[in-house]
Amino acid sequence: MMKKIIIILVAVVTVGFSVSIISDISEFPLFPKYPDEVNIELRYVKDPTELKKIKDDRKRRLAAGLSPYDCECKYKKSIMFIPIDKAEVIFYDTTLSINGDDITMVKKGYQYDTTLELQLNNKFLYINGEATEMEVAPFKTEGTIFIPIKYISDAFEYNFFYTPSSQTITFDYFDADIYIWNSEYEYVEGSVKYPGSLRYAVMQHTLEARGFDEISASSTADFQKIMNQLDDLKSFNSRVFIYSLYRTDGYKIPYDGLSYIESSIENVPGFSYDEKRKNIDDIPVIVKDFDDFRNEWYSEQIYALGESALFGNKEQEIYRFTQIGSFSNPFTIRIEINDDKTGILYFKQCDGPISVQAGNMIENKTKTLSSDEVEKLQDMIKKYRFWGIPKEDKIMGLDGFDWIIEGVTNGKYHIVTRWVPYYNDAVCKLGELFIELYGDESLDYYKEYAPNTD
């Protein structure tokens, strides 16, 4: 029996929906069994008439005893190929011309067009005249030209991703990127915050991350100019991606200002958007022992707390406890042990998790620890066998808080993390000691959430 796969359409985009985009062909997951027929349905198709035509055509084929699927596909080196005549279905506003072995595809864009040039049995793909080598080449069989769809979608800046659990392939596309950021640390008049320091830029969508210098070179402080540019987009598919940019220290966007901008764009007839919030600072690697998401998240938050990596330290004995909560103010407690067995405790706290509206440091205190207090810490490190605690467990949640404990001594480094640790867990007991040594009872609220093992 032939294995089939369906490519599902989501016509109405839910704000805040995010996906894992595969930008490198080598990362594209293999199908469990390669389907020889697929449906082509696209997230960005909004025209009900077009959707009805697609559905009616499938019904017609089914009634005629034909395959209900849109097209066949073939594979080379595990890479999917589809017939070239489907390209104009997938990539709207695209013209296709074939002259012998030469293939030219031109996609109309908001600010510039993109031209692709290929040849049958040739691995080179020319994007606006610049050559890139593919792993495979277009080929012709039984009168039909097949093209490697992933390479073409990447070149046209389309998102193309695969969900193994449902065997679903999705194409997605945005016409433009809208960038928003605050050009000043603060813009306050009296007790009211104003969005007057905000800056905006609209640029043709790209899958590549743009540098802030390139973005700011196209900036304006006049939001009406942005709305006028959106009028120019109405002749396209009218889908935009909003990037809210922020810096670790300052440069935040007032909540009311961001809400006004998003609602203004949302109210433009025929428009839809997705969004992402992005730190434009170069965040150093502070945590590197977990998956990429958690490494980046922990590193960004610990960096916002004014801290640096411990794993490269070869001289001192240092321990650091960090709490990152969903709704509470993150804080860190770092203890450096001196040669005389006394210690210095550093406490730092932000006004909220690092984000487009929060994450600025609000407390930075220092406290001297006695030799008895340091000894208590070292005894607890031994008692709970900190150096042998597994770095993570399998318990995770959406809210609550993460506790992270790091230690370094004689060049040896160890890190552990737990989400809302059990109250009698070693990580909880060690974190509790850090809070006790700092001496602020207001941080004891974790006891309301830390579950007992029973």
Query: Which residues have CB under 8 Å from 391's CB, separation 6+?
Result: 289, 290, 414, 415, 416, 417
Q: Is 101 domain-assigned? A: no
3-class state of residue 52 by DSSP: helix
**Other C-beta atoms within 10 Å of 189: how many?**
8
Q: Tell me the C-alpha distance between 324 and 426, whole Å.
A: 18
The answer on 305 and 256 residing in a single domain is no
Locate tokens 């709305």: which residue? 227
How far is the C-alpha of 445 from the C-alpha of 139, rounded, in Å?
65
Is 37 in contact with 67 (CB distance < 8 Å)? yes
427: which residues sit within 8 A by CB, 6+ positions away?
389, 403, 405, 416, 417, 418, 421
Quick one: pLDDT at residue 59? 77
How many alpha carbons lie under 13 Å from residue 107 in its C-beta half-sphere? 26
Residue 81, SS3 per DSSP: strand
Residue 303 phi, psi (nearest 5): -65, -40
Q: Same domain, yes or no, for 188 and 160? A: no
Phi, psi of 377 (to 5 degrees): -65, -50
Q: Say if residues 104 and 145 touch (Cβ distance below 8 Å).
A: no
Both 322 and 403 in one domain: the answer is: yes
Residue 349 bridge partners (DSSP)? 331, 363
Residue 331 lies in a domain: yes
Residues 88 and 236 in one domain: no
pLDDT at 162: 64
State which of 279, 310, 341 marks the end of a domain: 279
The Cα–Cα gap between 256 and 193 comes to 9
Residue at 188 is within a domain: yes
**Considering only CA atoms, which of 128, 249, 237, 251 is closest in space to residue 183?**
251
- DSSP E strands in 33-129: the ranges are 37-38, 71-72, 74-76, 79-83, 94-99, 102-107, 114-119, 124-127
State whether 158 and 240 are in the same domain.
Answer: no
Residue 203: per-residue pLDDT: 93
Q: Quick one: which of 292, 286, 320, 334 has its CA closest to 407?
A: 320
Residues 247 and 351 in one domain: no
Residues 340 and 272 in one domain: no
Answer whether residue 156 is part of any domain: yes
One digit per residue, the tens of pLDDT, for the chain of length 454 reads 344 443 333 333 322 222 233 333 334 444 445 666 666 666 666 555 656 666 677 677 778 777 656 677 888 888 889 889 888 778 888 999 999 999 999 999 989 999 999 999 999 999 999 999 999 999 999 999 999 989 999 999 998 876 655 556 678 889 999 999 988 755 555 665 545 578 899 999 998 889 999 998 988 888 888 888 888 777 777 788 999 999 888 778 877 778 888 888 888 777 888 888 999 999 999 999 999 999 999 999 999 999 999 998 888 999 999 999 888 899 999 999 999 999 999 999 999 889 888 888 999 999 999 999 999 999 999 999 999 999 998 777 677 889 999 999 999 999 999 998 887 889 999 999 999 999 987 776 666 565 554 4
Rounded Cα distance between 90 and 71, Å, is 12
Q: Quick one: DSSP state of residue 273?
A: E
What's the Rg (C-alpha) of the chain?
Answer: 27
Same-domain check for residues 270 and 301: no
**Residue 76 is assigned to a structural domain of this protein:** yes
Whether residue 164 is contained in a domain is answered as: yes
Distance CA 310, CA 415 (A): 10
Question: Which domain-ending residue is among 241, 256, 279?
Answer: 279
Is 121 contained in some domain? no
Could you tell me if residue 260 is inside a domain?
Answer: yes
pTM for the structure as a whole: 0.76
How many helices (DSSP H) and strands (DSSP E) are in the chain? 9, 26
Does residue 161 sit in the same domain as residue 310? Answer: no
Structural domain count, the chain:
3
pLDDT score at 49 = 63
Residue 356: give the domain boundaries.
292-448
Specify the 3-state DSSP secondary structure of 352.
Answer: coil
Q: Do 315 and 271 belong to one domain?
A: no
What pLDDT is stored for residue 25 in this prediction?
37
Q: Any idea what DSSP says for residue 92?
A: T
Which of 257, 279, 301 represents a domain boundary (last residue)?
Answer: 279
CB 220 within 8 A of CB 201: yes
| Together in a domain, 34 and 147 | yes
86 and 20 within one domain? yes
pLDDT value of residue 387: 96
